[in-house]
């Protein structure tokens, strides 16, 4: 029993130690991966970047871009978007799968997409201005209400 407690405490220390090594730093937009820079120029060219945070974790680097209107985009280390959050305001939709856009337009014509989040497996969660949360597969096909 004592050995089990030591193993558990060691595991907790190890995993929390990884998080303690995370380093956040403010960087310029030009230091983002090219793919992230292109995403911003293609979809948010009229928005002004407030700041960019680079978050170095144990095995990965993530980026968060905040615009002066409060909206945010998170990118993974490859510069692919992971989350776009309008903070209750509509987001740009030029990058969203046509299947998702069609479903939202057909079923919620008076609502706008205010947030979209993509999982590692490609599943996408969409939040609408009317409070509805929808889940889609990697191909943009509706799965369920969240």
Task: Let me know the angle formed at the C-alpha of 93 by 87 and 95, rounded to the nearest 5 degrees.
Answer: 115
Phi-psi region of 107 (alpha: psi -120 to 50; beta: other; left: phi over 0): alpha
Please give the backbone phi and psi of residue 107, each rounded to the nearest 5 degrees, phi first: -95, -20
CA distance 53 to 56: 10
pLDDT band at 21 (very low <50, low <70, confident <90, very high): low
Secondary structure letter of residue 39 according to DSSP? H
Residues 79 and 100 in one domain: no
Residues 69 and 113 in one domain: no
Q: What pLDDT is attached to residue 73?
A: 98
Question: Could you tell me the pTM of the whole model?
Answer: 0.83
pLDDT tens digits, residue range 44-97? Answer: 999 999 999 999 988 899 999 999 999 999 999 999 999 999 999 999 999 999
Which residues make beta-bridge pairs with 84? Answer: 73, 116
Sequence-distant (≥ 6) Cβ neighbours of residue 146 within 8 angstroms:
125, 133, 134, 135
Phi-psi region of 87 (alpha: psi -120 to 50; beta: other; left: phi over 0): left
CB 126 within 8 A of CB 100: yes
Residues 69 and 31 in one domain: yes
- Domain enclosing residue 133, as ranges: 96-146
CATH number at residue 122: 3.40.1420.30
Residues 36 and 61 in one domain: yes
Please tell me the total count of domains within the chain. 2
Among 34, 56, 83, give the residue marking a domain's end: 83
Residue 10 lies in a domain: no
Q: What pLDDT is attached to residue 33?
A: 98
Residues 67 and 27 in one domain: yes
């Amino acid at each position: 029993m004592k050995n089990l407690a030591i193993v558990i405490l060691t595991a907790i220390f190890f995993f929390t130690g990884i998080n303690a090594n995370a380093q956040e730093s403010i960087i310029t937009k030009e230091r983002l991966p090219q793919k992230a820079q292109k995403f911003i120029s293609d979809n948010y060219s009229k928005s002004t970047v407030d700041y960019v945070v680079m978050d170095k974790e144990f095995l990965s680097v993530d980026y968060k871009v905040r615009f002066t209107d409060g909206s945010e985009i998170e990118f993974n280390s490859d510069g692919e978007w992971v989350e776009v959050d309008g903070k209750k305001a509509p987001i740009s939709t030029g990058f969203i799968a046509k299947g998702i856009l069609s479903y939202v337009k057909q079923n919620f014509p008076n609502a706008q997409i205010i947030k979209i989040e993509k999982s590692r497996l490609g599943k996408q969660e969409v939040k609408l201005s009317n409070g509805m949360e929808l889940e889609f597969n990697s191909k943009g096909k509706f799965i369920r209400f969240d």
